[in-house]
Amino acid sequence: MGKAILYDATLCIGCKACEQACSEQNHLPYNETIAAEEATSEHKFTSVLTRGENYLRRMCMHCEDPTCASVCPVGALRKTELGPVTYEESRCIGCRYCMVACPFSAPKYEWGKVLPGVRKCTMCAQRVAAGQATACAEACPTGATKFGDRDELIAEARQRLAQNPTQYVNHIFGLSEVGGTSVLMISGVPFERFGMRSNYVQEPLPLLTYRVLSRIPDLVTLGSVLLGGVWWITHRRAEVAAAEGNATKPGEKEPETEKNP
């Protein structure tokens, strides 16, 4: 069964213990300056955004069918059976297709390094494989970030929304966005207030790409037939014109032939 993270923004107090735990887990620097940064980056894989008294975490959403993995030409990004989308630096060639393809802008590039790579949250894949919770979930003092089986977390999120309909926006973000993600979010205020889009497609993006690419052989065949037809018509016209040019037109004298003495 796939694992997931359920983030309940109504329980978040903005302590940023998740940020610090993430930094320690990934051997990244963390200080007051970095804590004040709201955007995720190559040195900050998760960030707690603040809007008045409301908070919302941003991180890699770990799509069920990740576009970043589908476009990676060397298989550096991979969706594991347990849920995390992992990154293998030794395979990466720095093409950055994943950064363009990700609908959540999660992968970040190490522009300042001589040998840069892509960095992002890996959902503590090694911990998850060992049966442990993610570092952010383990560090959360209020239970705002919870780790567990995806199906069970979805059921729990639905129960919270049903029991307290006035406390929550009636939406589980990540349940169906881009085909579903392994990070699920519920909130008391619209997600758009934190810059989250509200028009994500409900199907996996790689499936949309497949539908387009699967039509290319048909288009190539049709195009070849059309071009062949155009060539045949043009060639035939030239042949007819050449034949008519050599024939004697009505009313014209035939060219005189040389008489023998």
- Overall residue count recorded for the chain in this entry: 261
Give me the mean pLDDT over the 12-16 stretch: 98
Residue 9 has pLDDT above 80, yes or no: yes
Rounded distance, CA 194 to CA 124, Å?
25
Instruction: Judge whether residue 247 has pLDDT over 60.
Output: no
Res 104 pLDDT > 90: yes
- What are the structure tokens assigned to 235, written together? 């060639």
The rounded distance, in Å, linking the Cα atoms of 9 and 118 is: 28
Question: Which of 62, 6, 63 has the alpha carbon at shortest distance from 179?
Answer: 63
The tens digit of pLDDT for each residue in 57-73 reads 999 999 999 999 999 99
**What pLDDT score was predicted for residue 245?**
72
Select the more confidently predicted residue: 223 or 93. 93
Distance separating alpha carbons of residues 87 and 66, to the nearest angstrom: 12
Alpha carbon distance 259, 217 (integer Å): 65
pLDDT value of residue 58: 97
Q: Over 60: is that where the pLDDT of 258 sits?
A: no
Q: Given this model, what pLDDT does residue 217 score?
A: 59
**Helix, strand, coil % over all residues of the chain, rounded to 5:** 40, 15, 45
Of the pLDDT bands very low, low, confident and very high (cuts 50, 70, 90), residue 206 is: confident
pTM (2 d.p.): 0.79
pLDDT over threshold 90, residue 169:
yes
Checking DSSP bridges between strand 183-186 and strand 3-8, what pairing results, if any?
Answer: parallel
Task: State how far the Cα of 73 lies from the Cα of 77, in Å rounded to an integer.
Answer: 9
Burial of 40 (0-12, 13-18, 19+ CB in 10 A): buried
Mean pLDDT of the chain: 90
Give the pLDDT confidence score for residue 241 in this predicted structure: 79
Alpha-carbon distance of 204 to 183, in angstroms, equals: 15
